[in-house]
Structure 1
């Protein structure tokens, strides 16, 4: 619908829907006019989401958003205002870490949640515990992922957030046994529920940090290092099918205190969180970066540092037959 109706008409339609009171900045992200098209849509959040003060975004897949507050996940379709709340299985959070992922199976259109727990310390057992929730089944089950012989459970530590692209959920993982903490990407196939390992070229594997995003239906990597005077970030895209390759798109150079890439817009601009010190206060804002002109553009969006998430979105009728 969004590619056929002008944005202003869409907003007027939404205002006439029951419950519209107006949300904190939400934009039609795959729109060439980002960030001009912003509207406050927080009133259409599910009631279960409004009750949480620690809500964060796991990700999006096929028009569904997954919100998360540590003990539960909320799978939400903003377009038809349907949501389903899922409680995570218990685990020993004092001794174990956890990452979560979300995606819709491309073959069955079944939304799935993945919880992976792993020892924080050397407890004599370095095996990951993988649990999968399928909305069609309505319960958690333990995945038989151990059939993947080269899954580096013992040495690699998974990091959040995840990214769902093309029927796979991806996480970055760093080698705890390597003093340079080299990086790999762990993938989870939403169809056959098998894990895989994608090894990165040295220029990516040896970076200080690596974040994930997506551009259209390609996985994007933000590997970055800190310099004394400024911050540089390269933008890479994963290409290929079985044989994965990586292409460098451009480099972001900034003299700001801190720049965190968040996403790549439909027209290829980088969306960034800029964190600066101003009058002894930490100020966070959202800017865009146009790679051909190397210019930064202010969006006038401000917020709390580290609390900004951006994800793609499309209209869908998924969840229409489910009730929370």
Structure 2
């Protein structure tokens, strides 16, 4: 995301053809009042690029209103408002990062729909957006991942499947458990493996390689550097990728597929 004349702006970049395109968001925002979540994907039936923008006033604002959903399609070059909404107003997205897979855009979210006295902190869930029908679908997580108080979650792609990374803050030695969603949106998850480095705690799991092996950030005593490493789950062997950092959260990684998108734009 970037800014242009006070308006937020999204930049789509295709490294295959070294071409980018700017998309001005539909309105200005007071960031102290609004939360805005953006998702990116390509519709598999039309091969059209879509941006989904979800905007809602922060919960502590006295003029709290319903969530607004807008979709930008590259072929039309315009935004449109959707009449559909989230299943419940109590659903809030926990991170701006989204995952595009098999015609769906996925986000992690928390449902704050508690009991009558408001004692419940909420529970983790996944929201998906069907780029064909342009409808939201609610995806439940396994019971062990639902507790929003003690479990930090993130999403990624593993071998062309959506996975949830669980970082359990209650564990004596916190590691990352990898859960794979099976059968598309059928709400079925299976635990694949645990990412546990033998010499130091893992700071973050950035992404998975095509082979399914994770790329992580950690401070290795062997290399004596805080940096980016390749991790082999079976042997738990780590290899330094020669990328170091003073800030463990300063690196991002994303999957990449050759495409001709933007060629005629």
TM-score (norm 1): 0.70
Q: Is the 8 A contact 1:74 1:85 kept in 2?
A: yes
> Relative to total residues, which structure has the larger helix share, 1 or 2?
1
Q: Does 1:252 align with 2:189?
A: no
**SS where residue 47 of structure 2 aligns?**
coil
Quick one: structure 1 residues 196 and 300, their matched pair in 2 at CA, closer, same or farther if it must change by over 3 Å? same
| One of 169, 173, 197 as aligned partner of 2:109 | 173
Q: Aligned match of 1:222 in 165, 177, 192?
A: 165
C-alpha contact (below 8 Å) 2:204/2:248 kept by paired residues: no
Cα shift readout 1:288-323 (whole Å, capped 9, x = no counterpart): 22111122222121234312111111211121101x
Question: After the TM superposition, which parts of structure 1 deviate over 6 Å for at least 4 consecutive aligned residues?
Answer: none
8 Å CA contact 1:126–1:154 kept in 2: the answer is no
Q: C-alpha deviations, 1:22-71, integer Å up to 9, x for none? A: xxxxxxxxxxxxxxxxxxxxxxxxxxxxxxxxxxxxxxxxxxxxxx2362
Distance 1:231 1:248 in 2: 16
Instruction: Give how far 1:240 is off.
Output: 0.5
CA separation of 1:258/1:292 partners in 2, compared to 1, >3 Å: closer, same or farther?
closer
Aligned-partner Cα distance in 2 for 1:312–1:135: 21
Aligned-residue Cα RMSD (Å) equals 2.4
> Where does residue 88 of structure 1 map in the other structure?
25
Q: CA deviation at 1:258?
A: 4.7
Residue 286 of structure 1: which of 228, 231, 234 is its match? 228
Number of aligned residues = 248
Q: How does 1:52-91 map to 2 (within 5 A)?
A: 68-69=1-2, 71-89=8-26, 90-91=28-29
Matched, 1:295 2:237: yes
Residues 242, 299 of structure 1: CA spacing in aligned structure 2 closer, same or farther, 3 A cutoff?
Answer: closer
TM-score (norm. length: structure 2): 0.85
- Select the residue among 196, 203, 206 that pairs with 2:137: 196
Gaps of 5+ in 1: 1-67, 278-282
Is contact 2:90-2:111 (8 Å) kept? Answer: no
User: Per the alignment, in what secondary structure is the counterpart of residue 159 of structure 1?
Assistant: coil
Structure 2 counterpart SS, 1:204? helix
> Match of 1:203, SS?
helix
2:124 matched residue in structure 1 = 183
Q: Which has the higher contact order (CA 8 A, sep 6+)?
A: 1
Give 1:1-324 correspondences, 5 Å limit: 68-69=1-2, 71-89=8-26, 90-122=28-60, 123-146=62-85, 151-177=87-113, 179-206=120-147, 207-226=150-169, 230-254=173-197, 256-274=200-218, 284-303=226-245, 304-322=247-265
